[in-house]
Structure 1
Amino acid sequence: MKNYTVIRYRSTEATGWNDFLKTAKNATFLFNRNFMDYHADRFPDFSLMVYNEERLVALLPANIDNGTILSHQGLTYGGLVYGNLKLQEVILVFREILLFLQQQGILKLVYKSIPSVYCLKPAQEVEYALFLAKAQIVRRDALSVLAHNGENEVSDLRKRGIKKGIKSGLVVKEENHFEDFWNQILIPNLESRHQAKPVHSLQEIELLASRFPENIRQFNVYHQNKIVGGTTVFETENVAHAQYIAANETRAELGSLDFLFNELTHNIFREKKFFDFGISNEMQGRKLNSGLSYWKESFGATTITQDFYEVATANYTLLDDVFI
């Protein structure tokens, strides 16, 4: 039986943490400490590192909130990060994590899974361990994802929008600044339509883009040299993900978003395995914005899910006698 040790992450371990990500089968740049730590003041870190003797074998990006440990709330997705561990090894690692948290006086872990398209190889070993530990699904998000493994049928409605964009002379440009999109499009759009603000401030997205220029990219669409819409894309090895999507009040008249996303999916990111339009649900996954979901699906996107679990740390004992 292998001897696993769990420790809390410390800032002195940043290099080791980031180096391990390069060997993992389910890691992206979001787990890099240079990304995670930009909002350390909002999310008190409680990330974990798991060793087999002297060898680092797994990471758990996490924070603490009112005595509960959560897959890091500042990240779109989270979960256990690991390399080529066998299923039995992942179960044992997860047991040690629950035991460690129990010994720290933590009663509950809220676990946010990594959507399958972001994994370099199939990586659902932890989902099986969660089942064995009697974890409860408390939320399920529905992501609209376009797979570039064949012809995706674009709806007639989207085709009409694309033709409007062509007729209007729209132009898509990648920009190295975010100010115009944030201040002229995104912030006003979210305020007027949802009474909300972007998760990232302008200063935060500029900081992150300066740290990850190859992963965080801004695409704007222009009409007569005036910005009318855009999207901020988080790019990983397998996936181009539209983190923010917004357009001004001319979107229907000009077909700006149809034109923009046709260019992104058919040209700019055509070689990516997947294009992730993101979720269309609210209220912990229990309400669906059907119009938004339909718009994404009309580009040929289909649905994958991302699950959120709660598991009592005392349930580590349920993983003691599962092997035969």
Structure 2
Amino acid sequence: MTSFSIKKYDAIFYELWNQFVSEAKNATFLFHRDFMEYHSNRFKDHSLLIFDEKEKLIAIFPANEVANTIYSHQGITYGGLIYKEIKLDKVILLCKEVVGYYHQNGFDTIQIKTMPSIYHQKPAEEFLYALFLMKAQLIRRDSLAVIDSRNDLLISKGRMEGVAKGIKSQLKIVEEFDFESFWNQILIPNLENKHQAKPVHSLKEIQYLQTKFPKNIRQFNVYFKDKIVAGTTIFESNQVAHAQYISANEDKNELGSLDFLYHHLITEVFATKKYFDFGISNEEQGRKLNFGLSFWKESFGASTIVHDFYEVTTSNYKLAENVLL
């Protein structure tokens, strides 16, 4: 029987953790400690490192705690058990050990927002099977609008009319390292006026993250007569270009600014990227769909990949025992 040792994350593991993230088959830059810790004041970290009997790191579990619940991780878009090339039987044992560890340390439940398959370097759904064995319950399902570049790109007539407007308006697209104009002139006012909300990242936070991950966090702005009228923030990983923020001023339909911008990104900037992920159009924990937003994304040829959230009772770790014949 394989034996494991589990250690709670500490700063002494910073380099080891980040090196593991760079080599895992189901990790992106969001799991780098510099990304996880930009908002460390908001979350009480309880991440784990799992070692084999030879003290070799074989998996990590990014997580934070709130009362008697563990979350994987509330400050990251997706999560779960992160690992390299290990077989299904070992992943089952690893999950049992992780869930059992939290149970023994007084936590009743774990809430897990899984990583959508498009972000996997190779198939990595062993973790989902282990959750099934422990009777994890599906508590939320979001819908991602995703373009698969291996298929023919089917952009609707309506979107191409918007692109034509952008050309006629002589719009200019600029990739910039300055987030201030988009945040202060477009994004923040729009979120406040339409949703009484703020961006997940403050201007200071996104600027800091971009200095840490300059190849992964990219800002594209649209200008009309030297005035910013639209923009988007892209989080780029190995296989996926993900639209983190999309926003435009009130003239977007007349100018075609967002159609013009996204046609450029999809057909030129990220044309060779395996997937383009527009993100979700859901509200109320996945129970509602913003039809207009979803329709706009699908008009570029995007279709649906689901993003599932599970809750597992920690005492169920025992259910992963004696499953191998």
Whether these two folds match at TM > 0.5 is yes
**1:186 and 1:237 mapped to 2: Cα distance?**
26
Identity %: 56
Asked if 1:284 is matched to 2:285, the reply is: yes
Secondary structure of residue in 1 paired with 2:300:
coil
Instruction: Report whether the alignment pairs 1:46 with 2:46.
Output: yes
* 2:210 pairs with 1:200: no
**1:101 maps to what in 2?**
102
Aligned to 1:60: 61
Structure 1 residues 231-264: Cα deviation after superposition (integer angstroms, max 9, x where no partner): 0000000000010000000001101000000000
In the alignment, the residues of structure 1 paired with residue 171 and residue 68 of structure 2 have an alpha-carbon distance, to the nearest angstrom, of 51
Q: Tell me the CA shift for residue 67 of structure 1.
A: 1.7
Task: Give CA deviations for 1:31-60 in whole Å, capped at 9, x if unaligned.
Answer: 000110111100110101111120100011
Work out the CA distance in 1 between the residues paired with 2:256 and 2:67. 46
- Runs (4 or more) in structure 1 with deviation over 3 Å come to none
Other structure's SS at 1:79 match: coil
Please give the alpha-carbon distance, in whole angstroms, between the structure 2 residues aligned to 1:130 and 1:279.
24
Which amino acid letter does the alignment assign opposite residue 59 of structure 1? I
RMSD of the alignment, in Å?
0.6
Quote the residue 2:27 is aligned against: 27
Alpha-carbon distance between aligned partners in 2 of 1:67 and 1:106, rounded to the nearest angstrom: 4
Which residue matches 2:36? Answer: 36
Structure 1 CA distance for aligned equivalents of residues 23 and 157 of structure 2:
44
* Aligned-partner residue type, residue 298 of structure 2: E
Q: Give me the whole-angstrom Cα distance separating, in 1, the residues matched to 2:36 and 2:22.
A: 16
Tell me the CA shift for residue 5 of structure 1. Answer: 1.4
- Residue equivalent to 1:269: 270
Three-state SS of the structure 2 residue aligned to 1:97 is helix
Q: TM-score, normalised by structure 1?
A: 0.99
Point out where structure 1 has 5 or more consecutive residues left out of the alignment: none
Aligned-pair CA distance for 1:198: 0.1
Offset of 1:150 from its aligned partner?
Answer: 2.7
Q: Which aligned pairs between 1:254-265 and structure 2 lie closer than 5 A?
A: 254-265=255-266
1:92 is aligned to: 93
* 1:76-91 mapped onto 2 (5 Å cutoff): 76-91=77-92
SS of 1:18's equivalent in the other structure is helix
Secondary structure, aligned partner of 1:227: strand
In the TM superposition, residue 22 of structure 1 has moved relative to its aligned partner by 1.8
Name the TM-score, length of structure 2 as normaliser.
Answer: 0.99
Q: Return the alpha-carbon distance in structure 1 between the equivalents of residues 78 and 135 of structure 2.
A: 21
- 1:166 matched residue in structure 2: 167
Number of the residue aligned with 2:146:
145
Cα deviation 1:106-144 (Å, max 9, x = unaligned): 111111100111110011001101111000000001000
CA distance in 2 between counterparts of 1:278 and 1:148 reads 16
